[in-house]
Amino acid sequence: MGSLVLEALAKRYGTSVAVERVDLEVRQGEMVALLGPSGCGKTTTLRMVAGFVAPSAGRVLIGGADVTQMPPHARDTGMVFQSYALFPHMTVAANVAFGLEMRRVGRAERDTRVREALRLVRLDGLEDRLPRQLSGGQQQRVALARALVVNPAVFLLDEPLSNLDAKLRGEVRMEIRALQQRLGLTTLIVTHDQEEALTMADRLVVMERGRVRQVGTAEELYESPADPFVAGFVGQCNLVEGALEGTGVFRAASGALLACAATPPPPGRHVLALRPERIEVTPAADGPARLRAVTYLGPLTEYHLDLDGTPLLAIRPTPTAGEPSRLMSAGDAVTLSWDASAARLLSAAQPGQT
């Protein structure tokens, strides 16, 4: 068991930069999610922690010990790869035993631990099957068992649920989280599924172009994003370019005026960030905004709006029969309102700036 520390970790391939710089501490027993767009360096970071990629600079510490120069099997890590990477010609039991063989664990102990690991992921009875004789969710669990069987100090998961359908993903997500908490595993999980990150992890790391943009709890990132990139990446957000017109009034590039928080913003250029669930939409024949489209999502309804040339998205609980807003449809004029404090002014991010 132990914490995981990444110190100024970087990876370059020739002149191209895969990871510019990552500093991060994952506390013992904590689950941290790496989140970011495709190509931002998530997998490379994870592979450097596991020892499959040698860093160009920086250090990896596990339980305080520098493991940067150690080969993968000498590190106390267990990794689940995005594609599961099961050995297709090997049985379930042999797949799970692999890491123990690499670590020269004796046969008797190996068999016991494989059995325990398979019981843990509820695959007992399927020891002798080949991966192709398993469902996607079962293969996923073999990959989990294979990583867990070595009792890793650090558990690494690279988009472990990406090949599962939505229902199974929800189930396996809860299983992984429960296991991680029960075993107290220090865990770094890569995902680009926001919901996955929000529901599973204690803290999230938002990366962009090989750099850490912000680290925090889901609530911190959602309620207090450091910049427009984080605001737009964690949850949905209306991001409106423009300039502060006066205290509490923001003029969008289109000319539309929007109420915003009165707290003095940091100097420089600004983007107004307003979460869609904070915008209330009311039918009004003389309203200043127009409804472009209404999308029914079951419990929620999306309203695609236009306010004097500025597109806005509102998401509201679906109105019940009898509520006036139930009858709103595309083309209608509407009034929009929100609590001014919900419209935050963020500094427009400079490319490459953290």
Ligand X SMILES: Nc1ncnc2c1ncn2[C@@H]1O[C@H](COP(=O)(O)OP(=O)(O)OP(=O)(O)O)[C@@H](O)[C@H]1O
Coil, helix or strand at residue 106 = coil
Return the CA Rg of the chain: 24
- Whether the Cβ atoms of residue 199 and residue 169 lie closer than 8 Å to each other: no
Pick from ligand X, Mg ion, none: which does 192 bind, CB < 5 to 8 A by kind?
ligand X
Pick from ligand X, Mg ion, none: which does 39 bind, CB < 5 to 8 A by kind?
ligand X
Q: Which of 27, 129, 192, 290 binds ligand X (CB under 6 A)?
A: 192
Contact mark string toward ligand X, 14..33, x via CB under 6 A = --x-x---------------
Contacting range for ligand X; rule: CB under 6 A; set: 37-45, 116-124, 242-250, 297-305: 37-45
Least Å distance between CB 190 and Mg ion?
6
The token pair at 167 is 């229902």
For Mg ion, the closer CB: 43 or 186: 43
Cβ burial, residue 215 (10 Å; 0-12/13-18/19+)? middle
Least Å distance between CB 24 and ligand X?
15
- Tell me the helix, strand and coil percentages in the chain, rounded to 5: 30, 35, 40
Decide: is 187 part of the binding site for ligand X (CB under 6 A): no
Alpha helix positions (H), 121-217: 136-148, 166-183, 194-200
Cβ burial, residue 149 (10 Å; 0-12/13-18/19+)? buried
Least Å distance between CB 128 and ligand X?
33
Decide: is 43 part of the binding site for Mg ion (CB under 5 A): yes
- Whether the Cβ atoms of residue 303 and residue 315 lie closer than 8 Å to each other: yes
Pick from Mg ion, ligand X, none: which does 18 bind, CB < 5 to 8 A by kind?
ligand X
Binding site for ligand X (CB under 6 A): 13, 16, 18, 36, 38-44, 192
Residues in contact with Mg ion by CB under 5 A are 43
